[in-house]
Amino acid sequence: MTATAKAKTYQNYIGGEWRDASGGTTSENRNPARPSEILGHFQSSEVADVERAMDAAHGARDSWRKLSPIARGNILYKASQIIERRADEIGEALTREEGKTFKEGKGETLRASTILRFFAGETAQSIGERLPSSNPTTFLYTERVPLGVVAAITPWNFPIAIPTWKIAPALAYGNTVVFKPAELTPLTATLLVESLAEAGLPPGVLNLVTGSGRRIGDAIVRHPAVNAITFTGSNEVGKALYRQALESERGVKVQLEMGGKNPVIVNRDADLDLALTQTINGAMMSSGQKCTATSRAFVHRAVYDEFVEKLTQRVGRLRLGDPLAATTDLGPLVSATQRDSVVDYIGIGQREGGELLTGGKADDLGDGYFVKPTIFTGITPEMRLAQEEIFGPVLVVLPVDGMEEGLTLANSVKYGLSASIFTRDIATAFSFIRDIDAGIIHINSETAGAEPHAPFGGMKASSSFSREQGKTAVEFFTQVKTVYFDWAYQTPLADKEEPGAPS
């Protein structure tokens, strides 16, 4: 029996039922560390499937919105427990499908469980405010209400955490969801949806449609039932979604999280060992496939040579290999396309005159999509390697004369997601916090750190201003009703009412 014959066929989840896509076609999902291993066959959905999912989400809107938030929270809490219980299994599936190490895959799965628990708790929190009114008998208050149907379009690099940090708040605040995961990671998406379904979500509240974004993206975004789109992915697609939503007559709320080109600044007074460890983690974990990954290091000339020498040695020692093995530091890139794109960038860096200190394509690890952790020097700030998001294990190191220059160069890209500085000087740290264009700022820690209950999002081209995660998520996933309730309107009739009515 071939591997193909053994692999399971997975289905869409629409209106509470697992079902095939209408066109009857599926696509293979392969392990990027070992592309001969087929993990499953996933539905290649068509526009008709999107329409079914939208109808289901629209049909479930009213009953879900009218349910007590506490009851919604109880379901999310149950899902968090299911995911925690299945963390080894889901983490392993994630690793097989996406290629990050098992430690990272399981960690991400547990993070999803934590996010669900957080939003379960949020359902018992305040959803509005009481305001004084100029009329003493007017009870004036605001209430946050759901948007309706939310489309969640997600990337492959955090295949459970990102969908969860969109779906959990969407559901907690009373929206229904159509979830379109990345083509490359439908298995993790299916396991997430399975866990939420098992936790007791009513039919239609969460619907999963797998397949190509190019093929069904338009149908999702333009569907008349959609009230909001939450998207994480490339700038190109994000901006196109934004334009489509703006053109819509109905008003569709859009949230975008996109690229990054995240800098670290290493000051002359930095704890160099800490700066090295954190820069390597930020640049290389998940093979650099994080929107918050470190991709530029601006290092003070006073410590530049020592930093570059130690960095090159340490990065050269990172172990590339099977991401399921406990000894592996870096797995493969997610796909051949992604590998080729990163290898192209390495070639561009060399052609532009950069010096490749360590790294490059790894040809000695079978047919998996491996790229060695790569360090470049000799890159100038305007070169493509210093400007464009590479989304791979590639770090460019540039010397700077001081913090002012470091800051100017750090800000000289279109992105503004995360940034970090290594320094012991309080004034330097606070100046950095004040002047850096980044939504997430680290002092003496890596650019990729992000806690699940803290607001997440970027500045400039990285984001559309609204923040995900934590308490701020309520702002995107709800809209505000302002209520003026005059409770004394019946006063003139009071005599005619029952005696003893309060006056």
Q: Residue from 27, 81, 133, 234 that binds ligand ADP (CB under 6 A)? A: 234
Helical ranges in 352-392 per DSSP H = 384-387
Choice from 57, 120, 237, 395 touching ligand ADP (CB under 6 A): 237
Minimum CB separation from ligand ADP for residue 205, in Å? 21
From 130-138, 171-179, 217-225, 452-460, span contacting ligand ADP (CB under 6 A): 217-225
Burial class (CB in 10 A: 0-12, 13-18, 19+), 427: exposed
Residue 44 or 267: the one with the smaller Cβ distance to ligand ADP is 44
Burial class (CB in 10 A: 0-12, 13-18, 19+), 16: middle
**Shortest CB 379 distance to ligand ADP, Å:** 23
Binding residues with ligand ADP: total (CB under 6 A): 17
Tokens of residue 23, six digits: 């066109």
Nearer to ligand ADP, 182 or 192 (CB): 182
- CA 16/CA 205 separation, integer angstroms: 8
> Is 247 an interacting residue with respect to ligand ADP (CB under 6 A)?
no
Would residue 257 show up in a list of annotated catalytic residues for this protein? Answer: yes
CB 70, min distance to ligand ADP, A: 32
Q: How far is the CB of 285 from ligand ADP (least distance, A)?
A: 17
Q: At closest approach, how far in Å is the CB of 233 from ligand ADP?
A: 3
217 binds ligand ADP (CB under 6 A): yes
Pairing of strands 478-486, 138-146: antiparallel
- Please write down the long-range contacts of 276-279, taking CB distance under 8 Å and 24 or more positions apart: 276/307, 276/310, 276/311, 276/314, 278/420, 278/422, 278/444, 278/445, 278/446, 279/311, 279/395, 279/446
For residue 291, the minimal CB distance to ligand ADP (Å) is 9
Q: What character string, x for contact with ligand ADP (CB under 6 A) and - otherwise, covers 151-180?
A: --xxxx-----------------------x
Whether residue 291 lies in the annotated active site:
yes
Of the two residues 237 and 297, which places its CB atom closer to ligand ADP in the complex? Answer: 237
Beta-strand (E) ranges in 12-98? 12-14, 17-19, 26-31, 34-43
Beta strands in 379-464 (DSSP E): 394-400, 415-416, 418-422, 440-443, 459-460
The helix (H) or strand (E) run that includes residue 207 is strand 206-208
The answer to whether residue 392 forms part of the interface with ligand ADP (CB under 6 A) is: no
> C-alpha 146: how far from its chain's center?
21
Active site residue: 291, 389, 446, 468, which one? 291
d(CA 415, CA 391): 13
Of 238 and 406, which CB lies nearer to ligand ADP in the complex structure? 238
Q: Cα 366 to chain center, whole Å?
A: 30
Strands 294-300 vs 394-400: parallel, antiparallel or unpaired? parallel
Query: Does position 322 bind ligand ADP by CB under 6 A?
Result: no
Q: Half-sphere exposure (CA, 13 Å, Cβ side) for 55?
A: 7
Residue 372: closest CA among 474, 295, 311, 288 = 288
Minimum CB separation of residue 180 from ligand ADP in Å reads: 6
Kindly state whether residue 182 participates in binding ligand ADP, applying the rule CB under 6 A.
yes
Residue 389 vs 446, nearer CB to ligand ADP = 389
Give start and end residues of each alpha helix (H) in 248-361: 272-284, 301-317, 336-351
Name which of 183 and 446 has its Cβ closer to ligand ADP. Answer: 183
* Catalytic residue selected from 257, 389, 446, 468: 257
Under the rule (CB under 6 A), what is the footprint of ligand ADP?
153-156, 180, 182-183, 213-214, 217-218, 221, 233-234, 237, 240-241
What are the residue numbers of the active site? Answer: 257, 291
